[in-house]
Amino acid sequence: MYPGTDFDQQFLEERVRQFTAQVERRLSGALSEEEFRPLRLMNGLYLQLHAYMLRVAIPYGCLSAVQLRRLADIAERWDRGYGHFTTRQNIQFNWLRLTDVPKVLAALADVGMHAVQTSGNTIRNITTDPFAGVAADECMDPRPLAELLRQWSTDHPEFQFLPRKFKIAISAGETDRAITRFHDIGLRLRSGSRGDPRVELIVGGGLGRTPVIGSTLRDDLRIEELLPYIEATLAVWNRYGRRDNKYKARIKILVQSLGIEAFRAQVEAQYALRRQIAPASPAALASIAEAFRQPVVVERSLAVYEQALASDAEFARWIRRNCTAHREDAYAIVTVSLKAHGETPGDASVQQMRALADLAEQVSQGELRISQSQNVVLPHVHRADLPTLFAALREVGLGTPNAGLLSDIIACPGMDYCSLALARSIPIAQQIATHFQSLGLEELIGPLEIKISGCINACAHHHLGHIGILGLERAGAECYQILLGGEGGQDAAIGSKCGPSFTAGELLAALERLLYRYLALRDGPQERFADCCRRLGTEAFRQALYGRESDTA
């Protein structure tokens, strides 16, 4: 974890004072809603269907046990006993009163947390690999770079009034776990010759109503060039990006309209002007990297672990599904599923948050991560601790062995909470999870990503689901369109839409036909649904959705 500095702390305290005064002026009538709205959005505060919603930043998904305990306190004292983790590694509180928000922000600032730039037309929370710093397949730890970008982008005077929001993701693994091809800027780090890391800068990716796979702007940036190059990219968009139509305002639209070559020429021209900015960034990066506390590695007997693995089938299944290789063989990266069948994806209760904070202190050196798939990660768990960890997680409903399986569904808050949604997402996710569990098909089907968004804004990344589900409204009723074959990682693909939408009542049967068709067509259990879709094309599956026989079946 990065400890944060006095500068950060002073900034947060000052911001809390400012916002407290702004809320007072709004309540007294001195500020109109029109005047207040941009101020509250600069501090992550939305008005949703039932209450105010506060989106709290979890910088690049890294959270300490102390911070998580504070989030639990906030949920208990000022909210309704739970929080919702998002696909951008943040947490949202759904039931706040405006009058309590200053107190909530003060409680957050106390542990170095805030809601700055989690909304509005600014650079949003930088996201990265939830396994960063411990993954066996990464070329370097991306977190210091994420922290450098966080420091640079926070309150950056040039980038507070961008044409629209701007999202940056960084990945340093061989496997891209940060969805870099679908961000305004995605950074892929790799080790260059002589150990000198190089960065691929991907620009203009995104989802929403215009899903686009990002294009490579530069493939060979050195770390020291990165900050001025990103700044040059933003400056070009800030100057030429559209501001007349919010649906055309994202950088992807500018890149598409100029073409990547012309866009690159503009960025290079800006870069020539700006390459001297932040000359101290390599030194700053080095000192940030030094400040990151590295996990302590200890040698312990693995006998308990091996015995449990051999004798406890449930434990073995959880290890297989929810544990990932750590760069130290004796350790594991544990994905704690917030997707118990029938629960709300990404929600954690106060009790669960407190249990996770305690467990992080006991077995993961006080650290947690929030993943893009709305789960919690314990990044440094000695394998000897895994049996007791599994037992403790099961006691609070967090031991579901379903990471990466059908019920590990990403769902946005949908019309149950969100004022933009056209249809509900959460009940659909709950029904799918419990239905296929009762059929006993989940393990048989194997790795499968289902992503459900309640509107075209695509907060749940439905375009990237192996099965994507998009909520729509038809004649005043909710309905759901299915997309097939999406993928967020290196084989980035946008799912293709499959004809007429289904009512909520028709959806389960359609998915059941689809997945039975997959089981019939796949080339053995090792062929994932996504791969099978890619090999055969989506047509055979489309036929199954609508209950028609297929030539390929």
Give the number of C-alpha atoms closer than 13 A to the C-alpha of residue 316, restricted to the C-beta side: 8
> Smaller CB distance to another protein: residue 154 or 430?
430
* Shortest distance, position 344 Cβ to another protein, whole Å: 5
* Shortest distance, position 430 Cβ to another protein, whole Å: 6
* Shortest distance, position 477 Cβ to another protein, whole Å: 8
Helix/strand/coil for 487: strand
Q: Are 438 and 508 in contact (CB under 8 A)?
A: no
* Shortest distance, position 277 Cβ to another protein, whole Å: 41
* Shortest distance, position 502 Cβ to another protein, whole Å: 17
H or E stretch covering 391 = helix 386-395
Question: Strands 376-382 and 347-349: what pairing?
Answer: unpaired
* Shortest distance, position 262 Cβ to another protein, whole Å: 42
Helix/strand/coil for 9: helix
Enumerate residues 6+ apart whose C-beta is below 8 A from 531: none
Q: How far is CA 386 from CA 232, 316, 360, 381, in A?
A: 47, 10, 12, 7
> Smaller CB distance to another protein: residue 50 or 320?
50
> Smaller CB distance to another protein: residue 433 or 493?
433
* Shortest distance, position 81 Cβ to another protein, whole Å: 6
The secondary structure of 215-272 as a DSSP string is: EEEEEEEEHHHHHHHHHHHHHHHHHHS--S-GGG-SHHHHHHHH-HHHHHHHHHHHHH
Q: How far apart are the first and last CA of the chain?
A: 52
> Smaller CB distance to another protein: residue 52 or 263?
52
> Smaller CB distance to another protein: residue 35 or 158?
35
Residues that bind another protein (CB under 8 A): 26-27, 29, 32-33, 47-52, 80-82, 96-99, 342-344, 347-349, 397, 415-417, 419, 424, 426-427, 430, 476-478
- Residues 6, 3: Cα–Cα separation, whole Å: 10
> Smaller CB distance to another protein: residue 49 or 66?
49
Sign of torsion over alpha carbons 438, 439, 440, 444: negative
Please choose, from the candidates 339, 544, 319, 347, the residue with its C-alpha nearest in 3D space to the C-alpha of residue 433. Answer: 339
* Shortest distance, position 267 Cβ to another protein, whole Å: 40
> Smaller CB distance to another protein: residue 469 or 492?
469
> Smaller CB distance to another protein: residue 233 or 453?
453
Q: How far is CA 218 from CA 175, 186, 276, 352, 489, in A?
A: 20, 11, 19, 43, 19
Please choose, from the candidates 164, 150, 168, 253, the residue with its C-alpha nearest in 3D space to the C-alpha of residue 204. Answer: 253
Please choose, from the candidates 533, 531, 534, the residue with its C-alpha nearest in 3D space to the C-alpha of residue 544. Answer: 533
> Smaller CB distance to another protein: residue 151 or 425?
425
* Shortest distance, position 14 Cβ to another protein, whole Å: 25
